[in-house]
């Protein structure tokens, strides 16, 4: 089995490649910028594999057909069983121009390359952000119903998924992970993001107050959090199933947590004061 992966150096992508390489005889071709060629050795070390099974393909997400050389396209044509697109901007604070260039145009370029090499199946890793600020349950079979797409992150995630749905000429499947955090067994995380911003606050509370003293926390709706190993395992299993063409899968917690519950879980793990009372943040203006 041969694979092509964009975003192979990222938090999810790096671990997905490692999982794919566990399959007997698997070969992974991964997109990487030429100026990052010095990272290839470290990546192979992380994956525990050889040059023959982890093959760099130099290119650029913002270039036509990802900037992949014509000779490489010729070599890859008809050889790729599964094409995974994970390269994207995952930062809500990134500027709109960058998000459009990477999330929208990058997806368009990726879809074009998948067609050029006649990939067997295209797997697009989107996000629950594609639903925007939709109120209520946003099902896997919903897309056009998305609401509140004014923020560039929501808008570009929605548009990139739209490109796959409308323009992808090879069989495709969409996956929408929730907020992805560290490994559920090791706790390993590549960057401080999302709920990890709470850690400094909890650390400060632990320094100032005894653990038995209850504190007041802020409440503000629910969040859906999933560990990276869950996302990787789900991608690995679902993508190799039959009858998944033109389907979407939510890689989420079926229930989710209240923000207050998340804070309480973190506080308990850190042996910091528990949140005994929660105040709705909306009441504070």
| 150-173 per-position pLDDT tens digit | 999 999 999 999 999 999 999 999
| 161 falls within a domain | yes
Query: What span, in angstroms and rounded, lies between the C-alpha atoms of 181 and 195?
Result: 8
Helix, strand, coil percentages, rounded to 5, for the chain = 40, 20, 40
CA angle 166, 120, 19 (to 5 degrees): 105
| 189 falls within a domain | no
Domain boundaries, position 263 = 194-223+258-284
- Least confident piece of the model among 47-51, 176-180, 223-227, 255-259: 255-259
Residue 275 confidence (pLDDT) above 90: no
Are residues 100 and 22 part of one domain? yes
Indicate left, alpha or beta for 243 from its phi (over 0: left) and psi (-120 to 50: alpha).
left
Query: What span, in angstroms and rounded, lies between the C-alpha atoms of 205 and 272?
Result: 6
Three-class SS of 58-85? ECCCCCHHHHCCHHHHHHHCCCCCEEEE
| 237 falls within a domain | yes
Does 267 or 206 have the greater pLDDT score? 267
| 187 falls within a domain | no
Are residues 91 and 212 part of one domain? no
Quote the number of domains for the chain.
2
Are residues 209 and 154 part of one domain? no
Are residues 231 and 202 part of one domain? no
Are residues 83 and 42 part of one domain? yes
| 151 falls within a domain | yes
223 pLDDT band, cuts 50/70/90, is: confident
Are residues 242 and 155 part of one domain? yes
Q: Give the CATH number, domain containing residue 66.
A: 3.40.50.720
Q: What is the pLDDT of residue 174?
A: 99
CA angle 68, 80, 229 (to 5 degrees): 95
Q: What average pLDDT does the segment 4-28 reach?
A: 97
């Amino acid at each position: 089995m041969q694979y092509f992966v964009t975003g192979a150096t990222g938090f999810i992508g790096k671990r997905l490649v490692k999982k794919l390489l566990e399959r007997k005889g698997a070969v992974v071709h991964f997109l990487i910028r030429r100026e990052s060629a010095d990272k290839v050795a470290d990546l192979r070390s992380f994956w525990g594999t050889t040059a023959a099974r982890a093959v760099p393909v130099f290119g650029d997400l913002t270039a036509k057909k990802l900037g992949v050389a014509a000779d490489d396209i010729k070599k890859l044509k008809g050889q790729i069983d599964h094409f995974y697109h994970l390269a994207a901007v995952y930062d809500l604070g990134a500027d709109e121009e960058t998000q459009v260039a990477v999330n929208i145009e990058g997806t368009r370029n990726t879809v074009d390359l998948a067609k050029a090499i006649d990939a067997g199946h295209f797997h697009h890793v989107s996000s629950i952000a594609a639903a925007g600020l939709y109120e209520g349950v946003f099902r896997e079979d919903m897309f056009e119903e998305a609401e509140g797409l004014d923020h560039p992150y929501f808008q570009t995630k929605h548009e990139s998924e739209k490109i796959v749905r409308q323009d992808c000429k090879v069989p495709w499947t969409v996956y929408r992970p929730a907020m992805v955090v560290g490994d559920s067994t090791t706790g390993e995380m590549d960057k401080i993001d999302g709920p990890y911003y709470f850690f400094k606050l909890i650390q400060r509370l632990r320094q100032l107050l005894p653990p038995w003293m209850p504190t007041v926390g802020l409440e503000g709706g629910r969040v859906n959090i999933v560990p990276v190993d869950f996302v990787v395992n789900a991608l690995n299993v679902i993508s190799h199933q039959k009858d998944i063409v033109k389907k979407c899968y939510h890689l989420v917690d079926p229930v989710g947590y209240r923000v207050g519950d998340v804070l309480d879980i973190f506080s308990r793990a850190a042996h910091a004061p528990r949140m005994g009372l929660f105040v709705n943040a909306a009441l504070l203006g």
